[in-house]
Amino acid sequence: MQAMATAEHARHDGRIRAMREVAVALASVLALHAALALWLIREGPARVEPREMPRTIVARLLSMPSPPAVTVPPRAAVPTPAHTPPQPRAIPETNKKIAMPPQPAQRPGTLARHEEAVAPTPPSPPLAGTPTTAAPSAAPSTPEPTAPPQAMRAPKPVSHVDCSIAQPDYPEAAQRRGEAGTAVVRFVVDVDGRIESAQIVRSSGYTRLDNAALDALRSGTCRPSRDAGVPVRVVFEQPFVFGLAN
C-alpha cells in the first residue's frame, strides 16, 4: 500500500516536472520571437529615397524675321539738251582805201615821178546761199596717263627670290613642350632688294614658332628681282619647318 502511494507520488512529480520543462521551453521560444520582432522594428529595411528624374529642357529654334525689302526709287531721267548747230559768223567786208604818205618836194633838174595810189583789191563777197563757217578750233590735247613707277605698283608673285635667310632658332620653351609645326611667311621685296613687309599666312599652331619664323625672315637679305631688266617689287611665300628631330 505504501509502495503504491510512493509510485503515485513519483508519477505526479514527473508530470509536474515535464509540464515545467514545457513551460520553460515555451517561454524561451516566446522570448526569442519577441526579441526578433523588436530587432526587425528597429533595424527595418532602409528607406529608398525616390530618385528625382532629370529635367529635360526642350529648346526650339525660332527663325529670324527677314529684313524688309528696301525699295529703291527709280532714278529721274535727265533731260538731254537739244543740240543747236553753231550759227555762221558773217565776215565784215573791208573796203577802205589806204592813205599814201605825202610825196617829198621835187628837186629842180629832176623828172617828177608820179606815184599812183594803189587801192587794195576788196575781197570777193560770199556767194548767196553758201554759209560761211568759222574754222573749228583745235581740240585741247588730253595728256596720256603715265605709268606709275615700279615702287608704287603691286608686287608681282614669283616662284623664286634671290635671298639669304638663316634657319630660325628653335625656342627652348617650345622644345620642352614638344611644340612642332610648319609656319608659312609671305613677304614683299622692294625694287632695292629690301624686305618691305612680312606676315604669317599659315600658322604652325604655336605663337612661339610663328614669331621665330618672322624674326628669321626679317633678318635676311635679298637682291632686287628684275623683269625685262627693270627692278620690280615681288612677293614670295617661304615655309619654315619646326620639328623635334631638328
Q: Are 187 and 209 in contact (CB under 8 A)?
A: no
| 99 within a domain of the structure (yes/no) | no
- Indicate the range of 82-86, 108-112, 160-164 predicted with least confidence: 108-112
- Indicate the range of 77-81, 93-97, 202-206 predicted with least confidence: 93-97
| 9 within a domain of the structure (yes/no) | yes
| 59 within a domain of the structure (yes/no) | no
| 50 within a domain of the structure (yes/no) | no
Domain that includes residue 6, residue range: 1-32
| 178 within a domain of the structure (yes/no) | yes
| 90 within a domain of the structure (yes/no) | no
Q: Are 241 and 168 in contact (CB under 8 A)?
A: no
The domain total for the chain is: 2
| 104 within a domain of the structure (yes/no) | no
Q: pLDDT tens-digit profile of 67-77?
A: 666 666 666 66
- Indicate the range of 32-46, 120-134, 194-208 predicted with least confidence: 120-134
| 204 within a domain of the structure (yes/no) | yes
Left if phi > 0, otherwise alpha if psi is -120 to 50, otherwise beta: which for 58?
beta
Residue 204 sits in a domain whose CATH number is 3.30.2420.10
Tell me how crowded residue 96 is: count the other CB atoms within 10 A of its CB: 9
